[in-house]
Structure 1
């Protein structure tokens, strides 16, 4: 198995001023989802998990169920949930730097890997995902790099979010573990070396 790898150097490097501008707009310590708003992303579960809380959550991305989700958030009185639509790479990096953690509630196996989780790990953030038997739990190790919760279970998702929200030191420790796992398993350089080794092994069999 050769997992997807990311190069940190291919992402924008923000100046202190650029980061300060985004901090003034969005604050910090929020939970962050990034992705296309599709049926299998589990965002309706996330909204249910955040009911009757004031935990800030930013949803970056657009997609076919965007209006449905906005309506649900409005009806649920989720004033601390904000839909940002599509964002630039610079804004995405700023959000990853400013957030408390990355939440990725995909509840169906249509979610095969979860590059957003990898981006969160690359920026040293704790991760929250669901156990759906795909690559998401290969990236996110429960209790170490974040929390893996049962799919489609708002109460479990809420407990994981509250745990990181209420314990910033623990969140930071898990974020450091996520960054270390990225460095050990998911860099672009490692992916390239693994493919090169695979090609060499295939050539030897001929």
Structure 2
């Protein structure tokens, strides 16, 4: 069975949660007779290449508007590839994808993984809504990544009869084991205990609240990642006079695993629904680390269960966040127990194997 995944970007150009989801499906699908291919837009390359066992097709981007890349060549590529596969699997949102789908007149079963509501461009959403509704209506099946998001999304509620819930999963074996040299490097740079944030530094990550909490609790905090908010956050560190926050920039997978192995707990203070799932939380659970996140009605509190795998606090509430960090810091036994509970939950619900198997069952049902 051949499945074509379609999204606006992919590895190795960009490394986000949706790209990770597609990657894990392509890597894990082979065990269930699913051959995954990827079609995306790129500003860096065109043509195709094999990326860790699966074929990726890159269409040249013509321009980008409101975070949406436009590509005329992807329409021709989509038409050609649709004829060669059994299932077309779109990863929403990407409005230009909807246009391409209808221009190609796709006649194969269509799966749409609904990764997020459109949150930031609300005024353009009203213009896009008719096309979006037509696109979602045309799908053979829609997948939400958590029951929380299904229940809290007014868009998904309209299509509830065709929505399945399949959480995004990760394969721990696909992550590198840090060398003793890298572990020694990080131990020499960092405090013996610290809180960790890993992710792209975007507007919805709530890191301004984490810095306010850092002022109140004083514990060491490591922020791994880069992004559009980086300079503003560093300015806030200076304004608050913080000496307990360390920015280490974007890190490799090996270094990320080293940091997850060494940290006391992870903090994920995203405060807007643009954070639809939280791959970083799955990574934290995969390495048996307790978590602190915010209740925003999305998958973050499906992964992290309050008082079981960590703590859940109100969004943009630095006092509650600081209190949760204090509880975790001061009670090592409870912290360890939460980490173990997080790992058990990962094994039960958030493995790549489980995700690939459930998608393969969905594909076969449609065929």
* Fold shared by both chains (TM-score > 0.5): yes
> What secondary structure sits across from 1:50 in the alignment?
helix
In 2, the alpha carbon distance for the partners of 1:174 and 1:67 equals 33
In 2, the alpha carbon distance for the partners of 1:46 and 1:52 equals 10
> What secondary structure sits across from 1:143 in the alignment?
coil
In 1, the alpha carbon distance for the partners of 2:227 and 2:305 equals 28
Shift of 1:199: 1.9
Which stretches in structure 2 are left out of the alignment for 5+ residues?
1-164
Q: Which residue of 1 aligns with 2:276?
A: 112
In the alignment, is residue 32 of structure 1 matched against residue 196 of structure 2? yes
> In the alignment, which of 246, 249, 273 is matched to residue 85 of structure 1?
249
Q: Max radius of gyration: which structure?
A: 2
Q: Which residue of 2 aligns with 1:51?
A: 215
Q: Which residue of 1 aligns with 2:322?
A: 158
What's the TM-score, normalizing by structure 1? 0.95
Deviations 1:1-52 (A, max 9, x none): 0111000001011233432222112233200001111111000001111114
In 2, the alpha carbon distance for the partners of 1:52 and 1:141 equals 25
> What secondary structure sits across from 2:218 in the alignment?
coil
What's the TM-score, normalizing by structure 2? 0.54
Q: Which residue of 2 aligns with 1:185?
A: 349
> In the alignment, which of 267, 274, 295 is matched to residue 131 of structure 1?
295
In 2, the alpha carbon distance for the partners of 1:189 and 1:127 equals 23
Q: Is the 8 A contact 1:27 1:98 kept in 2?
A: no
Q: Which residue of 2 aligns with 1:167?
A: 331
In 2, the alpha carbon distance for the partners of 1:173 and 1:77 equals 34
> In the alignment, which of 81, 85, 95 is matched to residue 259 of structure 2?
95
Q: Is the 8 A contact 2:200 2:226 kept in 1?
A: yes
Q: Is the 8 A contact 1:109 1:134 kept in 2?
A: yes
In 2, the alpha carbon distance for the partners of 1:146 and 1:105 equals 13
RMSD: 1.1
> In the alignment, which of 156, 174, 179 is matched to residue 10 of structure 1?
174
Structure 1 runs of 4+ aligned residues shifted over 6 Å read: none
Which stretches in structure 1 are left out of the alignment for 5+ residues?
none
Larger CA deviation: 166-175 vs 18-27: 18-27
In 1, the alpha carbon distance for the partners of 2:332 and 2:252 equals 27
In 1, the alpha carbon distance for the partners of 2:311 and 2:358 equals 28
Higher relative contact order (CA 8 A, sep 6+): 1
